[in-house]
Structure 1
Amino acid sequence: MNQLFLPLLLMLVVAIPLIMGSRKQKRAAQEQKNLQTSLSEGDRVMTTSGLYGTVADTSDDTTIDIEIAPGVVTTWLRQAVREKVAPPVDDEFDDSAEQSASAVEVVDETPAAETSGAQVAPPLEHGKK
């Protein structure tokens, strides 16, 4: 009995991480498959190459159309979608931001470099000879 204990313990030490790793990999593959089947028009996604876009058409089983810019629609394999992302934040200001911006007074329009005596280098002119 004592002679079988050490080999059995070694097999358990090797087998448990292998089993746990394969379970984790299967779970991740299932989550990715669920994501790809749950895509619908209007979802904001990121592809495996890092391209962001909005799903425009999901009628095909193997491909989807992604709008990457207004009026620019490209066709991608569903497997190329890496994840859904949050929609972009709208850059419009609300009324309170406009009111607070108009309440700010301009005290001095002189640049700080002119008043402090700091030297400013002229801009570089690339490609001009």
Structure 2
Amino acid sequence: MLISPAYAQAAAAPGGDMFVSILPLVLIFVVFYFLLIRPQQAKAKQQRQLIDNLKKGDQVLTSGGIIGKVTRVEDEKTIMVEIAQGVVVKVARATISDIVNKPVPANTSNDNAAKTGQKTAGGLFGRLFKK
């Protein structure tokens, strides 16, 4: 006989396959959240705090690369920045990318190591392997 008989097989369980197929998508979303979204939110929060804490006398760097000293905080959107003696420009607060003259903490491990002549282990691998 050339044709073989077809036998009925039991149906597969419907619930388990759907969970297994969705699991990789959920894992990819979790990885993206912790590697991309969460650090970006933290950076945006830090930038908002930096802009909110601007005060007269701060030396700032704009996103255009101009360095100047804050002479007056006008409102929540603009500040006046002196970029040269007698040259004051109005700048949007959102364009401030950094405060140049940040106060440095007095006791840091790198300062102590530099004073005592010890080498510090830099980077991730230096801390892991303690060279």
Q: Report the TM-score range of the alignment, normalised by the length of the smaller protein.
A: 0.5 to 0.7
Give the superposed CA RMSD: 1.7
Unaligned runs of 5+ in 1: 88-129
Q: Match for residue 30 of structure 2?
A: 16
Listed one character per residue, the Cα deviations across residues 54-94 of structure 1 (whole Å, up to 9, x for unaligned) are 0110131110000000111000000010000128xxxxxxx
**TM-score of the superposition, structure 1-length normalised?**
0.61
Instruction: Report whether the alignment pairs 1:3 with 2:23.
Output: no
> Which consecutive aligned stretches of 4+ in structure 1 deviate over 4 angstroms post-superposition?
none
Q: Identity of paired residues, percent?
A: 30
Paired residue secondary structure (1:32): helix
Unaligned runs of 5+ in 2: 1-14, 103-131
**How many equivalent pairs are there?**
87
Q: Match for residue 112 of structure 1?
A: none
Distance of 2:31 and 2:90 partners within structure 1: 40
Listed one character per residue, the Cα deviations across residues 84-121 of structure 1 (whole Å, up to 9, x for unaligned) are 0128xxxxxxxxxxxxxxxxxxxxxxxxxxxxxxxxxx
Distance of 1:51 and 1:17 partners within structure 2: 37
